[in-house]
Chain A
Amino acid sequence: MKIEGCNNADEVQEKDAVSLCSLFAGEETFGIDTRKIREVLGESGFERVPMSPEFIAGVVPYRGEVLTAVNLRALLGMEASSGACCVLVIEDDEAAERFGLVVDSVGGVVTVSRRALETNPCTLGARGKWLFDGAYKMDGGLMVRLNPQRLCPSRLSETGLFRKSANGGTDASPDRR
């Protein structure tokens, strides 16, 4: 795994530093706090679950457990990808639950300053507000910070925001293009 953004670690002061794992879905870059990530499974196979909500990618075997995997693309209202994908195992301390997150690919660990975090724009749709914690201004553009707790499958189904993605769900996309 290539380590990005380590060169600007010196500029970032220790106490402000947050290390994020960068991941990609479609054209966009996202970040998740590395402390919440148990493991990156890489291109591991997952089994689809028939009749499950759209945002559920399927189930993944992980160390003797069967985890439910959430599909980030489906959450963002994107078309299902045909290419390779990557599964991350995320731990939700509060619910003591582990679940998988399916993304297109995983970049690396990025250390950024907390101060570079911009809050969500007020024009953001309800789904986006649920999923995102804000965005970091990076050199190459924005890195949207995901809220790992809210990605938990049971919470996603509780909100009811993602029940039907018949309307396309484009409002979740951070910057409409």
Chain B
Amino acid sequence: MDELTKEFLAESQEGLDRMERCLTDLETRPGDAGLLGEIFRAVHTIKGTTGFLGFDRLEKLAHAGEHLLGSLRDGRLVVTSDLISGLLRLMDGLRAILALIEETGGEGTRSGDEDGELIAELALLNGEMPPEDIDPNLLHAVVDVGETVAIVPAAEDASKISGMSSPPASAAGNSERSAAGNDKTLRIDVDILNRMMNLVGELVLTRNQMLQSDRAAANFPELARRLDSVTADLRETVMQARMQPVGNLFGKFPRMVRDLARTCSRDVRLEYTGQETGLDKSLLEAIKDPLTHAVRNAVDHGIEAPADRVLAGKPAQGCVRLRAFHQAGSVVIEVADDGTGIATERVLAKAIERNLINAEQAAGMSERETLQLIFLPGFSTAAAVTTVSGRGVGMDVVRANVEKVGGSVEVESRRGEGTTLRLRVPLTLAIVPSLVVRSGGQSFALPQSALVELVDIPQREYARVVQQIGSAELYRLRDRLLPMVWLDRLLDLGTNHAEPSHGHYMAVLEADGCRYGLVVDDLMSPEEIVVKPLSPVLREIGLFSGATVLGNGTLALILDIGATAARAGVKPIEEENTETGVGKAAIPEAASESFLIYEDRARERAALPLNMVERIESVALERIEYVGGRPLLQYRGELLALKDQGNVLPELEAAREQGSEAQATVLICGGSGFGHERRVGIVVRQVLDVSAGTLIERNAGGEEQLELALVKEKLTLIRREFDVSPKTAWQEVA
């Protein structure tokens, strides 16, 4: 296939993808001329280019479509459901031919008759008589097609629905094939490509220099550093090039939801946000199927029939929301519906019936644990489950697929209000920052994302800090008991207890809602590791998510934190039981945030929202200058107005006169990044803590906006507004 054809194929696919999005939008906004123009252009471009390339069959079909779209654009036709269906079929037809060209290099004539039918149908929609030269049998078929289309929206007869169910299926097949075509090509910003080329050039130069200088040369460390930075830059640029907006994936759903909603007679609206969120191309491919499945489930089982919804006091039109956003180094994609939710007691009953759990276990299960049951492999097989529980078909497959790429799946459900499925995937597959540890003479890599903190347990303190309940060992970490898991015992590594004197290290890990301490012999360096997949036999063990070659050339296995917890029997923490969890879990996000707590006036606690504080500086008192009675600080080439609400400065001044060393603690706040024009310094007596708190009172009156909050069960004043003095007052000094 020549270059021109290839380019044409890629371009046409893109055009059709755009057209697909626009078509479903058009149904909701029939009068939008911009959308129509877009669709028209896509078809027109195909028609124009095909004539030039000599694909007659494609040209004919595109021409018929263009004709119809032309009438639509001129306002001679109105947008109806049938019309949209016809146009969607036109798109499928075009896709099928494109796929054929891609496969064979020619457009073929195998299914030529279908085209005739489709063209005639389009003509019929255009309100014209079919052309004379079409044979009467065909005409008959056309009328049939027209009838089916006309009947479906009106009647929900089962036979008609089964008739309708085939087009979505074939559409899915087509889009899969077209997706395969898109796999091979990728559009990259030329700037990124240029940057890559520059970096490669630099890499070559550094290599040359390295080859010329020997290891003992004085500039060798510097060269190594340069190599390091060039590699890091290059890596980042390549990653950036691989990033694709999630919207590319979301774009497929409006059509799917539309077809599906018609087949199962639901009224569903699809909303999405965050489509610009970038995700590695390979990951995007990996989550495509699970996400499709989740959306299908939401429409099929989540959303109730319109009549039921009205009875339940909800609007007849259901809503499926797709949301993508970044969170802590991973991308979260949510599929939320406002349907019935999952009936937990039914889930339990089913699980008991299928012998997945026994009645005793069921009684002790929390709601969260119960919802996890739907991910069990045995749970999903029966079709009957879907009708009672709302969800369940192939949820284990969804989870398996997402976990394969290092992600996780969560489900949240409220009876009568809906279900939210949350897919969490890492930003990129290839490189993971991790900590290398040693246990039983072997190296293991722990992904940094799961690592909470590291604890050193010296041998002499061992007995004090490690407590036992039966045979289980627990570590008392800030008055919370943490289950300890010994990596060498868990993995059955032959350990030598020859040197018990040096103590142990414990990595506090958190995954899948489980928190535990993993005890290892030694901590090595933190390293950015390149993940290599393991063979299926080793994947079956289930404890390792991959392997990697370390900087010293040896291999290390990458530990799957969640699976390790499960193997060791660590259960997810019940949020109600945890001390700090109460604030976080029970109160909606808006009311709970992190605060930096400090003391300004004596014996009074005040707090600032943590995200407003940029730095905490300790400043020698001499550096604080006064202009017009206002304290100012020269800070990084900027003049900071200092706010001293607690009269700390005069006190410190007095202390200095008595000869003691005086340092003022200043919180650097605000800055342009936080919606403030200028940074402000706040002088405080001392910084106390960082904690989550709950607002209890909001008092807008008075000269200053006052808010009270409970932070660590103590009354705290929240400051948000700094009344920055008019800029001109002190700007002239600078």
Chain A residues close to B by CB (< 8 Å): 45-53, 56, 59-61, 64-68, 97, 99, 153-154, 156-157
Contact = CB atoms under 8 A, between A and B. Distances in A.
B708 interface: no
Contacts of B533: 66
A49 B541 contact: yes
Given A47-B556, A66-B533, A68-B534, 13 more contacts: A45-B554, A49-B541, A51-B491, A51-B492, A52-B541, A59-B555, A66-B546, A68-B537, A153-B535, A154-B535, A154-B536, A157-B536, A157-B537
Contacts of A53: 537
30 contacts: A46-B555, A47-B547, A47-B555, A49-B538, A49-B544, A50-B491, A50-B493, A50-B557, A52-B537, A56-B538, A59-B534, A59-B547, A61-B549, A61-B553, A61-B555, A66-B534, A66-B546, A66-B547, A66-B548, A68-B534, A68-B535, A68-B537, A97-B535, A153-B536, A153-B537, A154-B535, A154-B537, A156-B537, A157-B536, A157-B540
Contacts of A61: 549, 553, 555
B27 to A, nearest CB: 45
Interface string B552-563: 011111000000
Contacts of A56: 537-538
Contacts of A50: 440, 442, 491-493, 543, 557
A50 B536 CA distance: 15
Contacts of B554: 45, 47
Contacts of B548: 66
A156 B541 CA distance: 15
A101 B343 CA distance: 52
Nearest to A58: B555
B492 A66 contact: no
Given A59-B547, A61-B555, A52 B538 contact: yes
Contacts of A66: 532-534, 546-549, 555
Interface of B: 440, 442-443, 491-493, 532-538, 540-541, 543-544, 546-549, 553-557
A47 B440 CA distance: 12
A45 B556 CA distance: 12
A20 B533 CA distance: 31
Contacts of A153: 535-538
Nearest to B536: A154
B488 to A, nearest CB: 9
Residue of B537, B543, B544, B548 with most chain A CB atoms under a 10 A cut-off: B537
Contacts of B540: 157
B85 to A, nearest CB: 43
Contacts of A67: 535
Shortest 6 CB-CB contacts between residues of A and residues of B: A50-B491, A47-B555, A68-B535, A66-B532, A66-B547, A153-B537
Contact of B541 (A51, A65, A99, A154): A51
A157 B541 CA distance: 12
A64 B532 CA distance: 8
Contacts of A156: 537
Contact of A49 (B532, B549, B557): B557
Contact of B557 (A45, A47, A154): A47
B9 to A, nearest CB: 27
A48 B442 contact: yes
B535 A51 contact: no
Contacts of B440: 50
A81 to B, nearest CB: 16
A97 B534 CA distance: 11
A54 to B, nearest CB: 12
A52 B538 CA distance: 6
Given A47-B555, A49-B557, A56-B538, A65 B532 contact: yes
Contacts of B549: 61, 66
B496 to A, nearest CB: 15
B207 to A, nearest CB: 19
A56 B538 CA distance: 9
Contacts of B535: 67-68, 97, 99, 153-154
A90 to B, nearest CB: 13
A156 to B, nearest CB: 8
B534 to A, nearest CB: 7
Nearest to B531: A66
B541 to A, nearest CB: 5
A43 to B, nearest CB: 14
A156 B537 CA distance: 9
A56 B541 CA distance: 12
B310 to A, nearest CB: 54
Q: Most B CB atoms within 10 A — which of A46, A53, A59? A: A59
B571 to A, nearest CB: 21
A157 B538 CA distance: 10
A84 to B, nearest CB: 18
Contacts of A52: 537-538, 541
Nearest to A155: B537
B185 to A, nearest CB: 24
Nearest to B544: A49
A49 B442 CA distance: 9
A49 B555 CA distance: 10
A51 B557 CA distance: 12
A59 B548 CA distance: 10
A154 B440 CA distance: 27
Contacts of B442: 47-48, 50
B538 A68 contact: yes
A41 to B, nearest CB: 13
Contacts of B443: 47
Nearest to B556: A47
B342 to A, nearest CB: 34
A49 to B, nearest CB: 6
B406 to A, nearest CB: 16
A70 B189 CA distance: 46
A97 B536 CA distance: 11
B154 to A, nearest CB: 53
A45 B544 CA distance: 20
Residue among B440, B538, B546 with most chain A CB within 10 A: B538
A98 B110 CA distance: 41
A152 to B, nearest CB: 9
Contacts of A48: 442
Contacts of A60: 555
Given A47-B554, A47-B556, A48-B442, A59 B538 contact: yes
A74 to B, nearest CB: 13
A134 to B, nearest CB: 26
Nearest to B532: A66
A48 B440 CA distance: 11
A69 to B, nearest CB: 10
Contacts of A47: 442-443, 547, 554-557
Nearest to B540: A157
B548 to A, nearest CB: 8
Nearest to A98: B535
Contacts of B553: 61
A52 B492 CA distance: 11
Nearest to A61: B549
A97 B557 CA distance: 20
A99 B442 CA distance: 21
Nearest to A53: B537
| Max chain A Cβ within 10 angstroms of own Cβ: one of B442, B535, B555 | B535
Nearest to B553: A61
A59 B555 CA distance: 8
A48 B555 CA distance: 9
A8 to B, nearest CB: 38
Contacts of B544: 49
A28 B38 CA distance: 74
A151 to B, nearest CB: 12
Contacts of B543: 50-51
Nearest to B557: A49
A68 B541 CA distance: 13
